[in-house]
Amino acid sequence: MSFIELKNINKSFGKKNSKVDVLEDLNLSIEKGELVAIMGKSGSGKTTLLNILAGIDTPDSGEYLFDEKPMKIRNAADGVKFRRNNIGIVLQHFALINDFTVSENIEVGLWESGLSIVEKNKRIIEVMEQLQISDLKDKYPGKLSGGEKQRVAIGRAIICRPSLLLADEPTGSLDSSTEENIIKIIQDLNKTNGTTVIVVTHDDEVAKSCMRTIHLEKH
Ligand SMILES: Nc1ncnc2c1ncn2[C@@H]1O[C@H](COP(=O)(O)OP(=O)(O)OP(=O)(O)O)[C@@H](O)[C@H]1O
Ligand SMILES: [Mg+2]
């Protein structure tokens, strides 16, 4: 069985006349250690799909198996717990906290982890080294470039050592040389840390850097 299995997933928004069927009978399998791109037109349901995978949203029908276990998200707290233990999320616009430094922003990913301060600090140092942002540790987001901000956001996402990293257009706000750097970092996390990664992208270069591409159709 695959690490992630979606079987006949349906998701729509709205009611009656204004109903939009976003995902229709979607089937998907992703193996542990894969680096997968998701492409599709605007409105084809890419973010909706990531939200379902992250337990932020639930499908109307169908089955979602994560690591061979059926997902059971009954309320918001279940989703928070699931993400805390399993998922890292990276977004296009970084979503950093402006009055936190780089290291404090990364530490956000360890809130409620239950780790000791010593262990937290050790991990923060390790992650900053891996992402080559140690020099920036006391800087505030307002003083960082887009690529630097995204590396901090990736640090926050991976510090809890998630088995699945979900990235929604992570290079969407970056120029092409910075994009290349972020792609390399994502590839390195996939290879070195063994993290399974799903990247939503509109960019062919990003998709080419992945092992395979899943195309969503617009309904
Ligand atoms: N919470 C919601 N309530 C109502 N409609 C929604 C909601 N979330 C998404 N939609 C609709 O579902 C469709 C798919 O949205 P989604 O954000 O998943 O698309 P996307 O593929 O990520 O697009 P983009 O490339 O523009 O980010 C759109 O028509 C959108 O308007
Ligand atoms: Mg989207």
Pocket flag, ligand 1, residue 126 (CB < 6 Å): no
Distance, CA of 60 to CA of 11 (rounded, Å): 5
Cα 194 to Cα 106, 156, 170: the distances in Å are 20, 17, 19
Ligand 1 atom at shortest distance from the alpha carbon of 216: 21
Looking only at the bridges linking them, the beta strands covering 69-70 and 61-66 are antiparallel
What is the reported pLDDT for 158? 95
pLDDT digits (tens, 9 = 90+) for 73-121: 889 999 999 999 899 999 999 999 999 999 999 999 998 888 999 999 9
Q: What is the CATH number of the domain that holds 136?
A: 3.40.50.300
If one counts the domains in the chain, the total is 1
| Distance in Å, CA 52 to ligand 1 centroid | 12
201 C-beta closer than 6 A to ligand 1: no
Which residue among 44, 168, 171, 214 has the greatest number of ligand 1 atoms within 8 angstroms of its CB, and so is best to mutate?
Answer: 44
Ligand 1, atom 2: closest residue by C-alpha: 13
* pLDDT the model gives residue 113: 87
Ligand 1 close to Cβ of residue 44 (< 6 A): yes
Task: Provide the residue range defining the domain that includes 158.
Answer: 4-215
Distance of CA 81 to the CA centre of its chain: 16
For residue 191, the CA-to-ligand 1 centroid distance in Å is: 31
Protein residue with its CA nearest to atom 30 in ligand 1: 43
The pLDDT of residue 16 is 85
Residue 13 CB–ligand 1 contact under 6 Å: yes
Q: Is 209 in the pocket of ligand 1 (CB under 6 A)?
A: no
Calculate the dihedral angle through the C-alpha atoms of 87, 113, 92, 134, rounding to the nearest 10 degrees: -120
The answer to whether 70 and 63 have CB atoms below 8 angstroms apart is yes
Give the separation between CA 54 and CA 64, rounded to whole angstroms: 11
> In angstroms, what is the span from residue 210 Cα to ligand 1's centroid?
24
Residue 153: what pLDDT?
97
* 150 Cβ inside 6 Å of ligand 1: no
Beta bridge partners of 11: 23
Q: Ligand 1 atom closest to Cα of 45?
A: 18
Residue of 159, 144, 163 lying closest to 94 (CA atoms): 144
Q: How far apart are CA 212 and CA 189, in angstroms?
A: 17
CA 61 to ligand 1 centroid distance, Å: 18
Q: What is the mean pLDDT of each run of 10 residues along the chain (219 residues)?
A: 96 92 96 98 96 96 96 91 94 96 97 92 96 96 96 96 96 92 94 96 95 91
